[in-house]
């Protein structure tokens, strides 16, 4: 589903890589310790696959930040990345398309048909800064779906900001909110692209015109006032879906990596 067939020209790969670097800087503006989140995930994967080539599924992988890190950290690995956004998945395909260890699929987690092209068992299913985009009932459905994809002893991990409760944790919430504000201003007031600026740059690339047109249609009716769910909601749902142990493997204020073992 990329816009090119055959080898991707090297200038286009360079451009995609520079967009990924700018994406990483932009995302780090929102997630002060994004690198530590990723590191916690790598540590868990290494531990559950001491003598085995890990097979990983990255849900809503975007342009492939975590995929790139996993390839560097655990060279003998197989990764499948799934994302709904035609432009982000095209950038990922431009960067990793020649890589035998990576398969990239454009698919929408909102519909159960996202599973159509997924087969076999995974050691780990991972996701970062993405599942808060799903309606809670869809998130629950996805948790039941992935429980069937992960081998016994395998893991699901989600790195995301999870909201403190507005009433019973108002002080926690205020501190996390202030820290987010400070992190964002340290980046976005000092030359790092904010969300809109990054998209303006990426959407202006002529090679991506077709993906840009498609993404506009795909996101047209997106509900942007999504209900936020708590850490407890995630953990309880994962338990109900059949995960035997659930908890957190990393936390900074309201930013977590939660883990659920099969």
Ligand X SMILES: C[S@@+](CC[C@H](N)C(=O)[O-])C[C@H]1O[C@@H](n2cnc3c(N)ncnc32)[C@H](O)[C@@H]1O
**Region binding ligand X by CB under 6 A among candidate stretches 4-12, 124-132, 196-204, 226-234:** 124-132
Per-residue contact flags (x/-) with ligand X for residues 190 to 229, judged by CB under 6 A:
----------------------------------------
Query: How many chain residues interact with ligand X (CB under 6 A)?
Result: 17
Place of tokens 């087969």: 119
What's the min distance (Å) between Cβ of 171 and ligand X?
A: 27
> Is the CB of 108 or the CB of 203 nearer to ligand X?
108
What's the min distance (Å) between Cβ of 65 and ligand X?
A: 4
Is residue 172 at the binding interface for ligand X, with CB under 6 A as the rule? no
- Lay out the sheet containing 150-161: strands in order across: 102-106, 78-83, 55-59, 122-128, 150-161, 255-261, 245-252
Is residue 125 at the binding interface for ligand X, with CB under 6 A as the rule? no
Is residue 108 at the binding interface for ligand X, with CB under 6 A as the rule? yes
Is residue 87 at the binding interface for ligand X, with CB under 6 A as the rule? no
Task: Give which of 35, 249, 183, 192 is closest to 175, Cα–Cα.
Answer: 183
From candidates 88, 149, 257, 259, binder to ligand X by CB under 6 A = 88
Element (H, E) at 136: helix 136-147
DSSP 44-103: HHHHH-TTS--EEEEET-TTTHHHHHHHHH-SS-EEEEEES-HHHHHHHHHHHTT-TTEE
> Is the CB of 132 or the CB of 239 nearer to ligand X?
132
Is residue 128 at the binding interface for ligand X, with CB under 6 A as the rule? yes
Exposure string for 49-83, b = 16+ CB within 10 A, e = fewer: beeeebbbbbbbbbbbbbbbbbbeebeebbbbbbb
Burial class (CB in 10 A: 0-12, 13-18, 19+), 137: exposed
What's the min distance (Å) between Cβ of 215 and ligand X?
A: 8
Distances (CA, A) of 214 to 63, 86, 89, 148, 210: 16, 7, 12, 31, 6
**Region binding ligand X by CB under 6 A among candidate stretches 8-16, 44-52, 55-63, 117-125:** 55-63
Is residue 109 at the binding interface for ligand X, with CB under 6 A as the rule? yes
> Is the CB of 26 or the CB of 246 nearer to ligand X?
26
From candidates 39, 78, 99, 110, binder to ligand X by CB under 6 A = 110
What's the min distance (Å) between Cβ of 217 and ligand X?
A: 14
Kindly list the residues in this chain that would bind ligand X in the complex (CB under 6 A).
27, 60-62, 65, 83-85, 88, 108-110, 128-130, 133-134
């Amino acid at each position: 589903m990329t816009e090119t067939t055959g080898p991707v020209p090297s200038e286009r790969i360079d451009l995609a890589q520079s967009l990924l670097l700018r994406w990483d800087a932009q995302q780090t503006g929102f997630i002060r310790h994004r690198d530590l989140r990723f590191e916690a995930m790598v540590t868990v994967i290494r531990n559950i696959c001491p003598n085995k080539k890990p097979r990983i599924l990255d849900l809503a992988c975007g342009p492939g930040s975590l995929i790139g890190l996993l390839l560097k950290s655990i060279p003998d690995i197989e990764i499948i990345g799934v994302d709904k956004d035609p432009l982000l998945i095209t950038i990922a395909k431009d960067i990793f398309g020649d890589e035998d260890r990576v398969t990239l699929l454009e698919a929408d987690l909102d519909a159960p048909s996202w599973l159509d092209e997924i087969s076999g068992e995974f050691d780990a299913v991972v996701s970062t800064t993405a599942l808060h985009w799903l309606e809670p009932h869809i998130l629950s459905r996805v948790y039941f779906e992935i429980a069937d994809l992960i081998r016994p002893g395998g893991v699901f991990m989600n790195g995301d900001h999870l909201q403190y409760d507005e009433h019973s944790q108002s002080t926690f919430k205020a501190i996390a909110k202030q820290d987010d504000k400070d992190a964002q201003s340290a980046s976005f007031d000092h030359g790092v692209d904010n969300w809109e600026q990054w998209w303006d740059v990426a959407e202006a690339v002529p090679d991506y015109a077709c993906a840009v047109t498609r993404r506009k249609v795909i996101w047209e009716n997106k509900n942007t006032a999504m209900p936020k769910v708590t850490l407890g909601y995630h953990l309880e749902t994962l338990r109900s879906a059949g995960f035997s142990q659930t908890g957190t493997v990393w936390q900074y204020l309201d930013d977590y990596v939660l883990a659920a073992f099969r």
